[in-house]
Structure 1
Amino acid sequence: MKLRRFAELLTRPRKVLAGPVAQWFLTAKGQQLERMERELLEPQLLRHFGSYVLHYNPPVAMAAAPSIRHQVSLGDKTLSVDMQCQEHRWPVAADAVDVVVLQHSLDFAISPHALLREAAHCVRPGGHLIIVGAHAWSFFGLYRYLTRSVWRHAYCLPPARIIDWLGVLGFCLEKRSYGAYRPLLNSVRWQNKLGWLERLAARKKAPLGGCYMLVARKMVHGAHPQIQSMRINVAKLRPSVVAAKTSHQKNFEHSEEHDR
């Protein structure tokens, strides 16, 4: 009976948690994490340009991208997005988007593999995919196990595993950075006192931040030159006629046998 219950727990389908995640970001700790993640996202989005940037299931207000003309959001119906869709079926054409932003989307996806494939399918060659996720090896990762909030259901995938998935999908990692080194506390006073920890860890680029940001570029496959097929005449490959032995050659062979 216990084994059956355990098997049912493993095979239980995951619920869409986009709404509860957005509600958590309205709390004091959620706003603290939002500010620290915005410090990573906004300078990065300043470097990109093009026509469209796409945010899937944005838990907070979308970070500004001044050099991109249109910002589009899509995702679950519980969020205030421009287009509603399922995570494995986006109403976006292939190779149509310059930048796709997944802010904690993989942490709460029903299938992170399917979501990442769908996002990669929409990025144009030479475009970028920006992923922000929660890091398990940090103060925030410890908070995930102690809290009763929605973060108990988060995957918190390791950055190395996501980088491997991106390589399979034809992406090349350009940047990996960390943030939110301070523990999330309700006291603003203690948060300010621990500001030195944030500055020191960011300067040392320690891989122990509460969140990470991965920036990957979709590789452009070069066109292979079309080599014209060379048709070789079969007649040219026929063996040539061997000349018959002359009397001089026969006398030479007899002389060699005599010398032996």
Structure 2
Amino acid sequence: MKLNANSMVILSTYAQGMQQWFEGSLGQYLLKEEQNYFDRVVVDIFGFHALQVGFPQFNFLRANRIPFQFRMGISQGASFYALPDFLPIDSCSLDLILLPHILEFNSNPHQILREVQRVLIPGGQIVISGFNPLSLWGLNRYFKSAKQEFPWCGQFISLPRLKDWLKLLNFEIVGGRLGCYVPPCSKDRWIKRFHFMEAAGDRWWPISGGVYFLQAVKQVHGMHIIKPCWENSLSARRKIASATQKFKGTVKNE
């Protein structure tokens, strides 16, 4: 299997700058929002095997009760090292996959979704988080002087486009939300000052959240067994039998 060298370079840069960014005020704010969402969603998903692709130093599966859990990546904390373009996993073997911000930091997000679709069992679930380009966070990418730094170096994917990709791969959207309405300030005091925008954003401008979350289920189209109408057939027989018995009884009386 030939790995995508371009993907390796992008993911290496992504992994190196990510940890430093998450240690700052804005990174801690984002991490809290992401952890809270994943905790609420995965707690009610069951199965045998779950995989988190990316962010291996953070356990977004901690609230889930699936017995076999793995975190894949190219940095410390991963259960095994691999690229998301070609998952070293058998087809139809996983019940749950988390993709926290892995799509916008890879040169081929379509291939990642195809691999996810391949390894999920029918009815398996995928939970995705991504940066919203139609937000203050998205606009910040164009005014940032250091555009090569995380997370502004990513290619943010719009929510409608991601939904179209999932639909083409036979995924059904079953949940999701937007969050992080606070402007991407680097200082903790400004993040606290603008925190009122979280509640206001959910109510007045929900499509402008800095981060979106999507939950989808893998659908498999197959044959539907058409059962014979046994009940109608039995009812018809009972009516015939009753009419015959009545007729015979009438003849006998005469």
TM-score range, shorter chain: 0.7 to 0.9
> Corresponding residue for 1:97?
94
The one-character-per-residue Cα deviations of 1:71-118 (angstroms, maximum 9, x if unpaired) are: 201122x34311111222211111111111000000101211111111
> Corresponding residue for 2:175?
175
Q: Please give the alpha-carbon distance, in whole angstroms, between the structure 2 residues aligned to 1:81 and 1:132.
A: 19
Asked if the contact 1:21–1:59 (Cα under 8 Å) also holds between the matched residues in 2, the reply is no
> Corresponding residue for 2:239?
none
Amino acid at match of 1:197: M
Q: Please give the alpha-carbon distance, in whole angstroms, between the structure 2 residues aligned to 1:125 and 1:49.
A: 13
Between 1:140-149 and 1:168-177, the stretch displaced more is 140-149
The one-character-per-residue Cα deviations of 1:173-208 (angstroms, maximum 9, x if unpaired) are: 111310000013233233222221101212457111
Tell me how far 1:26 sits from its aligned partner: 2.4
Q: 5+ unaligned residues in a row in structure 2: which ranges?
A: 227-254
Q: Please give the alpha-carbon distance, in whole angstroms, between the structure 2 residues aligned to 1:156 and 1:59.
A: 21
> Corresponding residue for 1:122?
119
The one-character-per-residue Cα deviations of 1:19-54 (angstroms, maximum 9, x if unpaired) are: 123332222221111112222221111221122221
Distance 1:28 1:59, change over 3 A: farther
Asked if the contact 2:95–2:125 (Cα under 8 Å) also holds between the matched residues in 1, the reply is yes
Q: Please give the alpha-carbon distance, in whole angstroms, between the structure 2 residues aligned to 1:95 and 1:131.
A: 19
Partner secondary structure for residue 88 of structure 2: coil
- The question of 1:143 aligning with 2:140 is answered yes
**How do residues 89-238 of structure 1 correspond to structure 2 at under 5 angstroms?**
89-147=86-144, 148=146, 149-204=149-204, 206-225=206-225
> Corresponding residue for 1:72?
70
Distance 1:185 1:68, change over 3 A: same
Q: Please give the alpha-carbon distance, in whole angstroms, between the structure 2 residues aligned to 1:207 and 1:94.
A: 35
Q: Please give the alpha-carbon distance, in whole angstroms, between the structure 2 residues aligned to 1:79 and 1:163.
A: 31
Partner secondary structure for residue 151 of structure 1: coil
Distance 1:211 1:60, change over 3 A: farther
Asked if the contact 2:26–2:188 (Cα under 8 Å) also holds between the matched residues in 1, the reply is no
The alignment's TM-score, normalised by the length of structure 2, stands at 0.77
Q: Please give the alpha-carbon distance, in whole angstroms, between the structure 2 residues aligned to 1:138 and 1:79.
A: 31
Partner secondary structure for residue 208 of structure 2: coil
Tell me how far 1:224 sits from its aligned partner: 4.6
The alignment's TM-score, normalised by the length of structure 1, stands at 0.75
Amino acid at match of 2:154: A
Q: Please give the alpha-carbon distance, in whole angstroms, between the structure 2 residues aligned to 1:22 and 1:100.
A: 22
Distance 1:203 1:47, change over 3 A: farther
Amino acid at match of 1:134: F
Partner secondary structure for residue 160 of structure 2: helix
> Corresponding residue for 1:236?
none
1:16 to 10, 15, 18: 10
Q: Please give the alpha-carbon distance, in whole angstroms, between the structure 2 residues aligned to 1:159 and 1:42.
A: 22
Q: Please give the alpha-carbon distance, in whole angstroms, between the structure 1 residues aligned to 2:56 and 2:180.
A: 17
The one-character-per-residue Cα deviations of 1:128-154 (angstroms, maximum 9, x if unpaired) are: 111100001111112222331233321
How many positions carry a matched residue from both structures?
A: 215
Q: 5+ unaligned residues in a row in structure 1: which ranges?
A: 1-11, 227-260
Partner secondary structure for residue 90 of structure 2: coil
* Cα RMSD for the two superposed structures: 2.3
> Corresponding residue for 1:86?
83
Asked if the contact 1:34–1:60 (Cα under 8 Å) also holds between the matched residues in 2, the reply is no
**How do residues 14-53 of structure 1 correspond to structure 2 at under 5 angstroms?**
15-17=9-11, 18-19=14-15, 20-53=17-50
Q: Please give the alpha-carbon distance, in whole angstroms, between the structure 2 residues aligned to 1:127 and 1:13.
A: 30
Partner secondary structure for residue 10 of structure 2: coil
Asked if the contact 2:57–2:78 (Cα under 8 Å) also holds between the matched residues in 1, the reply is no
Q: Please give the alpha-carbon distance, in whole angstroms, between the structure 1 residues aligned to 2:10 and 2:166.
A: 24
